[in-house]
Homo-oligomer: A and B are copies of this chain.
């Protein structure tokens, strides 16, 4: 029986246990065991089962917990001119690349992919909802506003977002998931984010197509 606990209802001790589980995911991948988690979290296995039901419940709670920690940066809608829009998109791209290339994100996505391979899609759905979809929900209003303001020319908001997705991430995520060693320093991320933004403007900037 899997127990669902809303991330807001977690006690501090429970959050600490989930953080330890997260660390175990990063360190051991999907080979993590209930024993290794309990040792790392300095708690008993009995407690893990009482709190989270079973192994799947623990993994699900951990993914949800991590998702709840990622805050959506506030979008500045006040002034909407071309430089402000470019800065917003660039910041988006930077944050996104930073998150995607973090060890935590890699471990989490790998876990979710493995999970999906076994027929269960709950972890994959959660990761998708808090990754790709959350980004869409945040970015699409910006694109829509920019379209209405005449800064961009976007026939299909969703399609434009997916293109932005592709321009920013390119082959980075799949290569990282497959174990390719990529060195993504701050400088490289900044440069890639800038290039993706520039390319996006070239495709959707008002008056360019």
**A residues with CB within 8 A of B:** 29-31, 107, 109-119, 121, 124-125, 127-128, 132, 159, 162-163, 165-171, 173-175, 177-180, 195, 199, 202-203, 209
Contact = CB atoms under 8 A, between A and B. Distances in A.
Of listed A109, A132, A178, residue having the most chain B CB within 10 A: A178
Given A163-B167, A202-B202, A203-B203, A114 B30 contact: yes
Interface of A is mostly: helix
Given A29-B118, A117-B29, A202-B202, A112 B178 contact: yes
Contacts of A177: 113, 116, 124, 177
- Number of identical protomers: 2
A203 B208 CA distance: 11
A159 B188 CA distance: 13
Nearest to A128: B178
A31 to B, nearest CB: 5
B170 A162 contact: yes
Given A132-B171, A171-B132, A203-B199, A116 B178 contact: yes
A173 B124 CA distance: 13
B178 A127 contact: yes
A5 to B, nearest CB: 23
Nearest to A169: B166
